[in-house]
Each structure stands twice: as structure tokens, then as C-alpha cells.
Amino acid sequence: MSSASKTRNGLLTGSGSPKTESKRQLVSDSIATGLFFALVLTVGQRVIGFGRGILFCRLMTDQQLGQWSMVWSYLMLLAPLAVLGLPGCFGKYSEYYRQRGQLRTFVFRIAWISAITTCLLATLIFLFPETVSWILFRDTTQASLTRWIAVALVFVTASNFLSCLMESLRQVRTVTLMRFLTGVVFAIAGVGLLYATASGSTATTIGFSVACLVGSVPAVWILWRYRDTFTHSGDQLTHRSMWQKIAPFAIWLWAANLLNNLFEVSDRYMLIHWSNTSPELAQGSVGQYHSGRVVPLLLVSVAAMLASLLMPYMSEAWESGKKAVAQRQLNWTVKLVSLGFTVGGVLILMLSPILFDTILQGRYNDGLAVLPLTLVYCIWFSLHTVGQDYLWVAEKGKWATAATGIGLIVNLAMNVILIPWLGLMGAVMATAAGNIVIVLAMFTLNHLFGCKTDLGIWLSAAMPLILLLGTWPAAFAAGVLALVCFGTNWVFTADEKADVYRIVREKLSR
């Protein structure tokens, strides 16, 4: 076939020069294909993550495991804090600036600011390790581990930046591949270093840094190959117009991320700083807690992935004037998450004796005791993680931040009361109370701002409570829930069920 015919058929663009191949443009994944691909590949990633978490529990002492649990949470807290919430704007505004030919300028400005602020924070942590170590662990002897946190922060922030950008461009398969590679490399590097050294939490921190670096490769390759996507072809984007547009969203998103991550780490931080035991015993208690969170946190990570993937599609529908479509996408996802995660929670309870008594050799009985309530609050956390997407797309993010702030206050107050009295169980109860407050506030706000919450949404919020009934009563209740969901219109409307059946048929036929 001649060059001219190839050009006419769209295989080449431009004048036929040797560089025309680089001018191909990114094609966004559809929401159904993207979510289906992400969920399928994520299954493998979560299996690997589960195995990694179990091996960490077996290869580390309670104290080392507690330290790693805190390191992970601190990295998740510090990474968005360092970049001032700016990469989170990609999901909302990349499509806006792409349509105006200003995407390149928008992305590069955020990249430079994010790099500078991240390096500043990492440098401060690295230069004052003992002070930071006491703040993080109530223990000044963890200065070496604290320096590794500073190093890891750079790699984690870079990985998060690239993930946010890829998600905003609706490159779902690339993002999923990034996370899959990160999970695989972390399992290999983390477990390998634990076997090779006795450094415990330091080994896992180094392994996670390496995993973030390797996991970023697919995004870097895509950005280089399709670099012409970022050619500036529109009017000049002034700093004033850009920051006036995104600053309110970024500020509230930054505040929301800060509050969400403070909420996530608050119970374990309070266990370390508010308990009457030594720092070593307190860190061991956190290690026990971590064992009970290994499986439930897999649900939270899936919900975070769904929320981040859903927002660009909702944003695209919103910018196109299809607000009703965005609302249906949100409510439909919330209901599926609640039902699917509740059924998954029942299966986890059924398998928990094998996990804790056999695989973990009976070392984590306290973790087993708090597992049911931990599952409940992790599902609630998942619901509000997905549910807040509507407020951000509707540019009402400050209300999502307010809801999280209320939940955080409840959580901290309950921790102050319950930890000295009930210890670990008190921390879990406080976290559950804070989560249900956020869920109820979030769905109420969604309703007030146009995303009508029907009976199914409120039933979805109550579904996880069946996990407190005990394993077999919960299994029976889950079966009843499934019949109610698909045999009546109480939870899913007729249109929502039709959408579910249609997508399942399409994917099975493929």
C-alpha cells in the first residue's frame, strides 16, 4: 500500500514525513471496557497483594509489622500533602483544557510545582529524622527508617502523579497495568529483602520505593509515544486564568485528601500516642490491628480504584451537559460496591479461621477478633470514597471535605474515650462510628445537590451490618440481600438492572 493510501485510510497523519508516526493520538477507553479490564486485572493484583500481606505478617514481628503499617499510612498521607492536591485536578480539568488545546501547559505547570514541593518536604524529613521519628512513632530510635520514608515519598508522589494523569486521559488499561506492576514488584522486592535482611519495616519501605519506580514505566512510555497529544494548539493559557479556575477545586481536594488520610491513620496513631503502654507494645498492638486489616483493605483499594476511574467519565458526561448520566453512573456504582463488598465480606469471614489459625499460625488473635467490625467500616469507607465523586464533579468538593471533617472529629473523640478503656477494640469502634457518620452525611449532601438518593442507596449503606451477625447468619442474610437486589426494585431500579445485565452479556460474549 502506498504512503498516500495509508494517509487516506488514517494510518498516518501529516505530510508523510518520518516523524508522522509519533503524531498518533491517544484513544480513550470506554467506561464499560475500562472498568471491566481494570476489575479483571485487579483480581490478579489483589491476589498478589494478599499473599504479600500474609508473608509480611509471617516474616515480621508484631512491632515491625506495626511500624510498616504506620509507614504505609504516612506515605499515603504525605504524598498528596506534598503536591498540594494539584494532580487531583487532572480528573476534573484535563478534559476541559484538552478541548481548548491547552493541555500541555496545564500538565507541565502542575508537574513543576509538584516536583518542587515534594522535594522540599522530603528534604525536611531527611534533615530532621529524630524529630520526625518521634512525631510518627513516639520513638526517636527510628531515625534511619524515617530517612527511608523521605526517599520513598519522592517515588510514591511521582507514581501517584502519573496515575492521576493517565486516569484523567481515560487510559484505564495503562493505569491498571501500572498498579499491577507495582504490586508484583513490591511483592518480590519486599519479601526478598525481608528474607535477605533483618531490617523489617525498612526492607518493606525500600521495596515499595522500587515498586513505585518500576510501576511508573508504562505511563512514561505512553506519554513519550503519544507526546503530540500534549501539543499546545489553543490560545495562550495565562497563569491567572488557570489558577482562578483550578485553585478552589485544588484547595478543597487537598483538604479532603488530608482529612481522608488523617482519618485513615488516626486510630493507629492514637493507639501509639494515647495508649498507656510503651512505644514497643503500642507498635505491637498496631501490628495485631494490621493483620485484621490485610484483607478488608483490599476492598478499600478496589473502591479507590473505582472512584478514581469513575470520576473522568462522570466529568466528561457533566461537561457535555449530561448531568443525569453522571448521577446514574454514581448511584449504580455505589449499589454494586455495597452488595459486592458485603458478599465478599461474608466469604472473608468464612475463610478467616484458615487464615488466622493455620496460615498465620495463631499469632494474631486480636486481629481476628476485630475482623468483622473492620470489614464493616472498610465497606463504609469504600462507599464514601465512591460517593464523594459526585460532589467533586459538581464542584461542591468543600462539602465532601466538610463531611470527612465531621467524621474525623467523631473518630478522634471516640478514640480518646475508648482506647484507654477497650484498647484495640475501642479504636476499631471509634473508626466505625466516624465512617458511618461520613457515609450518611455524604449521601445526604449528594441528594441536596441534585444526585437523588433513592431507597436503594440507604439500604446499601445498611448492608454491611449483616457481617456483625456471625459467619453463617451473615451468609444467610447475604443470600436474602441478593434476592432482594435482583428480584425487586428496592435496591436497583429496573433501568439499573437492565444496565447490569447488558454489560455482563457484552463482556461474556467477548
240-258: pLDDT as tens digits: 889 988 888 888 888 888 8
Could you tell me the pLDDT band of residue 466, with boundaries at 50, 70 and 90? very high
At residue 486 the predicted structure's pLDDT band, cuts being 50, 70 and 90, is confident
The mean pLDDT of 491-506, rounded to a whole number, is: 73
Q: Which of 8-12, 104-108, 113-117, 361-365 has the lowest mean pLDDT?
A: 8-12
Check if the beta carbon of residue 166 is closer than 8 Å to that of residue 229. Answer: no
* 7 CA to centre of own chain: 42
Q: What is the dihedral of CA 107, 110, 113, 116, to 10 degrees?
A: -60
User: For residues 229 and 103, is the Cβ–Cβ distance under 8 A?
Assistant: yes
Mean pLDDT of the chain: 85
**Prediction pTM value:** 0.75
Mean pLDDT score, 136-158: 94
- Report how far Cα 53 is from the mean position of its chain's Cα atoms: 17
Residue 415, pLDDT > 70, answer yes
Instruction: Provide, rounded to the nearest whole percent, the portion of the chain with pLDDT above 90.
Output: 49
Most confident by average pLDDT, 35-44, 55-64, 309-318, 320-329: 55-64
As a whole number of angstroms, the longest Cα–Cα distance in the chain is 80
Among 432, 459, 434, which residue's Cα sits nearest to residue 373? Answer: 432
Least-confidence region, from 12-26, 132-146, 398-412, 450-464: 12-26
Checking if the pLDDT of 506 tops 80, the result is no
- pLDDT score, position 318: 86
Which triple of cell numbers denotes residue 63? 512491632
Residue 16 has pLDDT above 50, yes or no: no
* Of the ranges 11-15, 406-410, 453-457, 505-509, the best mean pLDDT one: 406-410
Across residues 76-86, what is the average pLDDT? 91
| Residue 362 burial class via C-beta count within 10 angstroms: exposed 0-12, middle 13-18, buried 19 and up | exposed
pLDDT category of residue 306 using cuts at 50, 70 and 90: confident
Asked whether residue 175 carries a pLDDT value surpassing 70, the answer given is yes
* pLDDT, position 28: 57
Confidence of residue 99 (pLDDT cuts 50, 70, 90): confident
Check if the beta carbon of residue 227 is closer than 8 Å to that of residue 22: yes
Predicted local confidence at residue 502, as pLDDT: 74
pLDDT for residue 338: 92
CA distance 134 to 182: 30
Q: How confident is the model at residue 24 (pLDDT cuts 50, 70, 90)?
A: low
Given a contact cutoff of 8 angstroms between Cβ atoms, the answer to whether 250 and 86 are in contact is yes
CA distance 437 to 429: 13
Q: Which amino acid is at 324?
A: A
Residue 507: per-residue pLDDT: 60
d(CA 370, CA 291): 10
State residue 15's pLDDT score.
Answer: 35
Report the share of the chain in percent with pLDDT over 70.
89
DSSP summary character for residue 320: T
**Residue 87: C-alpha distances to residues 90, 211, 329 (Å):** 6, 20, 23
Cell of 221: 512510555
pLDDT at 30 over 60: no
Q: Using CA atoms, how far apart are residues 150 and 121, in angstroms rounded to an integer?
A: 8
Stronger pLDDT, 315 or 439, i.e. the higher one: 439
d(C-alpha 235, C-alpha 151), whole Å: 39
pLDDT for 11 equals: 30
Residue 510: predicted pLDDT? 63
The reported pLDDT for the residue numbered 200 is 85
